[in-house]
């Protein structure tokens, strides 16, 4: 039987990657299976095989961010795929070097190691010149913007978002990505306490998302309602925030993903703040069970702190939970939750602990500034 040219398989992998980038899961799965069949009869090409392994790794990252939690546990693990890639790392060059570091950055991001992710992205950037595709450049700037956003470097994030949105806007095929940029613009504005601008970006994103035909449109709409809920909560409009979070969690495509845990966390919080303890506890239990199922230590920590504030205070659990958030450099969350803990202890007359958590709040705010200097 005549061997298939590796260049032909390379074209299929490029098509596969296009579907991955647009979160078109059914099409991506079909192309993945086709590529795997073709590779069995392909001429020997180690670079092409590494390209396939890198794309399989990227495919897995897509699925972990989108699929219902139970389905994630039935697939090959990311560490196993990463180990295969790392074994071949010394031999990669050019475009493969870019993808290798870019995808490893995405892996670190997935595990909430945001500074490590940025470091891999920076290495990838050195090889970005080998990538002629403008949409891939847009993807790079978007991912880097997201990582900088997570460590509160908002103006750096906004700069990369501008580049990404401009490039995505040139293609009708990437309307969902333009929506994603608007969502991230809104998130940056939210963290900068520019709430009107944040809501404006989210409303624009919602309007665009409602016109999308992609399978992921409803998931995106769920995320947008969640984010509008955050804006309303920060503005002190708790009942409106509750409605937005309810709108979000009722969208199955959002609720069943890992992102749905964030909405369960916020629902627990807003119900507790309205002194609706039964509802607050109901969403706490649902959220903590889901977070434990996927080992989401960030939201396990946050949920434990909320439980301590409104149900049963446990100083050891609070200390360990805040310690975890600090270890992940999630200083915005540390500052916000430490302030809540300081208020809690002030109301209880525990003035020593009140001072301790006020100091933690100040330290977290200082760390945000220090990270900007370090990067």
- CB neighbours of 137 closer than 8 A, spacing ≥ 6? 128, 131, 163, 167
pLDDT of residue 267: 98
What residue numbers bound the domain in which 205 lies?
133-256
Name the region of 76 (left: φ>0; alpha: ψ -120 to 50; beta: rest): beta
In this structure, the answer to whether residues 156 and 43 fall within a common structural domain is no
Residue 229 to residues 245, 248, 267, 288, 347, Cα–Cα distance (Å): 6, 9, 10, 20, 27
CA 133 to chain centre: 24
In this structure, the answer to whether residues 13 and 127 fall within a common structural domain is yes
pLDDT of residue 373: 62
pLDDT of residue 70: 45
Integer-rounded Cα radius of gyration of the chain: 22
- Indicate whether 296 belongs to any domain: no
Summarised one tens digit per residue, pLDDT across range 66-116 is 654 444 444 455 555 556 555 555 555 667 788 888 888 988 998 889 999
pLDDT of residue 269: 98
CA 310 to chain centre: 28
- Indicate whether 284 belongs to any domain: no
pLDDT of residue 77: 55
- Indicate whether 322 belongs to any domain: yes
Q: What's the angle, vertex CA 298, arms to CA 292 and CA 300, rounded to 5?
A: 40
pLDDT of residue 370: 79
Ranges of residues in the chain with a pLDDT under 50 are: 68-75
Count up the domains in the chain and report the number: 3
Residue 175 to residues 23, 142, 171, 199, 231, Cα–Cα distance (Å): 12, 14, 7, 20, 24
Which among 292, 372, 275 has a CA at the least distance from the CA of 332? 372
- Indicate whether 265 belongs to any domain: no
Domain limit, last residue, from 112, 131, 150: 131
Contacts 24+ apart (CB under 8 A), 126-133: 127/94, 127/95, 127/97, 127/98, 127/101, 128/98, 130/94, 130/95, 130/97, 130/98, 131/95, 131/98
Which among 90, 91, 89 has a CA at the least distance from the CA of 57? 89
pLDDT of residue 369: 82
- Indicate whether 207 belongs to any domain: yes
Which among 84, 105, 103 has a CA at the least distance from the CA of 95? 103
Residue 4 dihedral angles phi and psi, to the nearest 5°: -80, 135
- Indicate whether 172 belongs to any domain: yes
- Indicate whether 88 belongs to any domain: yes
- Indicate whether 95 belongs to any domain: yes
CA distance 94 to 101: 11
In this structure, the answer to whether residues 30 and 98 fall within a common structural domain is yes
Cα atoms in the 13 Å half-sphere on the side-chain side of 85: 22
Q: What torsion do the CA atoms of 181, 185, 187, 189 make, to the nearest 10 degrees?
A: 180
Residue 240 sits in a domain of what CATH number?
1.25.40.10
pTM comes to 0.82
Residue 219 to residues 47, 209, 212, 255, Cα–Cα distance (Å): 35, 10, 11, 8
pLDDT of residue 103: 85
pLDDT of residue 93: 61
What single-letter DSSP state applies at residue 235?
T
């Amino acid at each position: 039987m005549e061997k298939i040219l590796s260049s032909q398989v390379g074209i299929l992998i490029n098509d596969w990657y296009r579907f991955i980038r647009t979160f078109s899961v059914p099409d991506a799965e079909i192309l993945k299976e086709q590529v795997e069949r073709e590779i069995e009869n392909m001429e020997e090409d180690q670079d092409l095989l590494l390209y396939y392994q890198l794309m399989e790794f990227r495919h897995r990252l897509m699925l972990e961010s989108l699929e219902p939690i139970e389905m994630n546990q039935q697939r090959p693990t990311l560490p196993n795929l990463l180990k295969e890639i790392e074994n071949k790392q010394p031999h990669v060059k050019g475009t493969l070097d870019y993808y290798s570091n870019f995808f490893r950055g995405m892996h670190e991001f997935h595990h909430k190691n945001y500074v490590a992710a940025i470091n891999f992205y920076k290495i990838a950037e050195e090889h970005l010149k080998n990538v002629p595709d403008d949409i891939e450049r847009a993807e790079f700037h978007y991912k880097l913007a997201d990582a900088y956003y997570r460590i509160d470097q908002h103006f750096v994030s906004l700069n990369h978002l501008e580049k990404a949105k401009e490039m995505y806007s040139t293609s009708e095929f990437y309307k969902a990505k333009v929506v994603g940029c608007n969502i991230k613009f809104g998130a940056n504005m939210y963290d900068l306490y520019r709430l009107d601008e944040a809501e404006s970006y989210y409303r624009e994103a919602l309007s665009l998302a409602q016109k999308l035909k992609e399978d992921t449109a409803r998931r995106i709409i769920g995320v947008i309602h969640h984010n509008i809920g955050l804006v309303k909560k920060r503005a002190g409009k708790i009942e409106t925030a509750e409605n937005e979070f309810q709108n979000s969690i009722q969208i199955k495509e959002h609720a069943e993903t890992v992102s749905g845990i964030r909405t369960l966390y916020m629902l627990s919080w807003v119900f507790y703040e309205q002194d609706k303890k039964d509802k607050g506890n109901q969403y706490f239990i649902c959220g903590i069970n889901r977070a434990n199922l996927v080992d989401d230590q960030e939201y396990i920590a946050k949920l434990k702190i909320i439980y301590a504030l409104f149900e049963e205070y446990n100083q050891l659990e609070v200390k360990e939970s805040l310690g975890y958030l600090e270890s992940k450099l999630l200083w915005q969350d540390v500052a916000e939750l430490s302030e809540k803990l300081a208020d809690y202890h002030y109301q209880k007359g525990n003035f020593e602990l009140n001072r301790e958590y006020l100091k933690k709040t100040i330290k977290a705010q200082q760390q945000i500034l220090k990270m900007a200097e370090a990067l």
